[in-house]
Amino acid sequence: MLKENLFFRSEDDTDFMPIIPINENEGEQDKNLVIPDILPILPLRNTVLFPGVVLPITVGRDKSIKAVNDAYKLDKLIGVLAQKDANIEEPTPGDLCSIGTVAKIVKLIKMPDGGTTIIIQGKKRFELLEMQTEDPYFKATIRLFEDDVLPVAEDFNAYVSSIKDLAAQIIHLSPNLPTEASIILKNIENPSFLINFVSSNLNSDLVEKQSLLEINDIYKRAEHLIHILNRELQFAELKDKVTNKTRTEIDKQQREYFLQQQLNSIKDELGGDSNDREIADMKKKAEAKKWPEPAKTLFKKGIEKLERMNASTPDYSIVYNHLDLMLDLPWEDYSADNYDLKNAQNVLDKDHYGMSKIKSRIIEYLAVLKLKGDMKSPILCFLGPPGIGKTSLGKSIAHAIGRKYVRVSLGGLHDESELRGHRKTYIGAMPGRIIQQIRKCKSSNPVMILDEIDKIGTDGRSDPSSALLEVLDPEQNNSFYDNYLELEYDLSKVLFITTANNIQNIQPALRDRLEIIDLSGYAVEEKVEIAKRHLIPKQKEAHGLNKINFKLNDKLLEKIIESYTRESGVRELDRQLASIMRFQAKEFAIKNKVKNVLALSDIEKILGPTRYSNEIYKTANMAGVAVGLAWTYVGGDILFIEAILGDGKAEMKLTGNLGNVMKESASTALSYLQANARKFGIDPEQFAKKTIHIHVPEGATPKDGPSAGVTMLTALASAFTGRKVKPYLAMTGEITLRGQVLPVGGIKEKVLAAKRAGLKEIIMCATNEKDVLEIDSSFIKGVQFHFVKTMQQVLELALV
């Protein structure tokens, strides 16, 4: 299309800027123009002149100069023909196109260098009929074409409008064309001149322009021009898209470069690059760090890699965070142990009441450490019901021996990467919880509580409990490997303490690595002491009652424990005490005073009616009901076993959500009783005539285990003989078909549960006597134990 340079060009040039005539309708005046049949011919290279269009041409060839001079002296008319091949210096008549344009030389200018420049304007199209002479320049006989006749077809106006729009779009997309060109286009009103003007300025080859010139029908010429313009528009749009994309990328790079330079200048003003300062700080910390040789080597490689990286790359932060972790870890930093055994004992006694077995084990560990100076830490597991202080005891142990304390909750953990860490290549990767806690406490020998180890989850892809095998093995944990750290870390000095409620849920291989210490539930007397020493002062402080003097005596506390709680620990007791403190705080806020000593009636007013009653356990109103003792993961409990006989076929029904072992105990009891019926005064024929139904209340609660065997046999014997079971009596033990009573577990929890329930006598296997002796005699004062070996002894003691 239009070119932005207005310099005069030679007739050899391909690029030119047409000059718009002042009057585009000069064609009307040209009707009176007399054009001779013979005209001098001017060959043009690489361009085609259209009627009405003005071109500046620099004439260089001698023949052409002579032809121009002669024509300018006469009528200033000359025939302009395009060369077929622009590379021919001296064209022959056969090298010229047959159709051209008669031009009028508007201006002839002699240049200082001897050249000649002319400004010509196309007038009419002609056809070359015969070349008259070739020397000194071409002269030929021509035939003029008639002027363009505008068609009356309606779509011709649409063609003209389309030509204007397409040309305007091309000008808009072409950065080298002046915007004034679109204004010129809009102001052209003559359709014939518009077509010639646009055709002359096409950015296409000579053959295509010549083909447009040779079309006589202006309608067809306009149609062909639109086709060419559409093609040119598509090319211009594609070129503009590529140019803009390239420009955007270059602009972005230039912008980033400019901002980077500004940033560098700001950093220089502030005293250097912050990244360089960070790396320098890291190196300084590393020099003072005590760490093993492999860690030092890995850090050195990492810092060298960091120095070569650009801070804006994603990997920079990954490497930086890894090195920062290495610097934060206390590789060979250990806190000094306090070997004062008496002080340790005092701290443990002050923080926790009872728990003599655990305290003794910790003092033993400290004693060996004091004598030897170094030893692998044991892996302890505190096993017991919830709410008895297993987790808080770990904190107390750390305080007693002067070590840092950290806690890792394992409940619901189902991904081993939480323990071993994620590989650095993952987005958001971080070290495992073990290394994170070591980093947090700044010591390589803390007391680390692994809480709720029996509640670790698992799925098909990962098994965290297996990952703990390395952590909790004293022979292996001196080289614990974390995936994020990518180094071995020594955990052998860490005192690991795990807590659990149910040992059955711990993987056998993991259980084998643990030193199990059983923590039984608290007796009423212990709970009273715990409440006085710890819970009441804590709740007073929590409710702003420190300076207000009032007391809860022992009888009141026993009432709260027995009538409002049923637990092995003290959490529910703590909540009940909190309710009392809130009531006292409200009373003081309203009345500005409180009772100095609370009475039992006040407790019922605050806490409501008693929730639990021991009366139901103390008496058996009918034959066939016996009281058994059970162990649950929350402590000991009391359960009834009910047996009833009905007329019908010989069968036994078992209800109450019983497990397989418990069902087998019932079958064993019935078989033994049937085999020894006459010995116990039972008619053997009853077994064939009666339907036996054994039920254990609280059917929504699953029940299982062998320890209810003696209770089931007692209930069956009571139902068949009609003799009631002695009141205030509970029992536990496994039975055999030969009538022997076997020992069971959980004796302390069961005995304490019986004591809480107000029962006076307990029957159990003679082998379990040693377990009873471990219980503080003050906690079981008033309870009579019967240690038996056979079921006959049980029935003699139990049945009235």
Catalytically active residues are: 707, 750
Residue whose pair of structure tokens reads 């690489």 in the numeric block: 46
| CA dist., res. 72 & res. 78, Å (int) | 9
Please, which residues have CB within 8 angstroms of residue 41's CB and are 6 or more apart in sequence?
A: 67, 78, 79, 80, 81, 96, 100, 128, 131, 137, 138, 139, 140
Q: Nearest 5 degrees, angle CA 730-CA 735-CA 737?
A: 145
Strands 729-731 and 734-735 come out as: unpaired
From the list 414, 508, 402, the residue with the least C-alpha distance to 463 is 414
Cβ–Cβ < 8 Å for 358, 316:
no
Alpha helix positions (H), 499-625: 508-511, 524-530, 536-542, 554-564, 571-591, 600-607, 615-618
Q: Nearest 5 degrees, angle CA 563-CA 569-CA 574?
A: 65
Burial 248-266 (b: 16+ CB within 10 A, else e): eeeeeeeeeeeeeeeeeee
Please, which residues have CB within 8 angstroms of residue 663's CB and are 6 or more apart in sequence?
A: 654
| CA dist., res. 382 & res. 58, Å (int) | 107
Helix (H, G, I), strand (E, B) or coil at 638: strand
> What kind and span of H or E run contains 91?
none
Single-letter code of the amino acid located at 556: L
> What kind and span of H or E run contains 719?
helix 709-721
Transcribe 576-604 into DSSP letters: HHHHHHHHHHHHHHHHS---SB--HHHHH
Spatial strand order of the sheet with 625-632 comes to 651-655, 690-695, 635-647, 625-632, 729-731, 761-765, 784-788
Strands 38-44 and 139-144 come out as: antiparallel
> What kind and span of H or E run contains 9?
strand 9-10
| CA dist., res. 203 & res. 205, Å (int) | 7
| CA dist., res. 775 & res. 636, Å (int) | 14
Token pair belonging to 748 = 């302390």
| CA dist., res. 765 & res. 734, Å (int) | 8
Q: How far is CA 314 from CA 48, 252, 317, 424, 718, in A?
A: 60, 20, 6, 12, 79
From the list 262, 273, 256, 260, the residue with the least C-alpha distance to 307 is 273
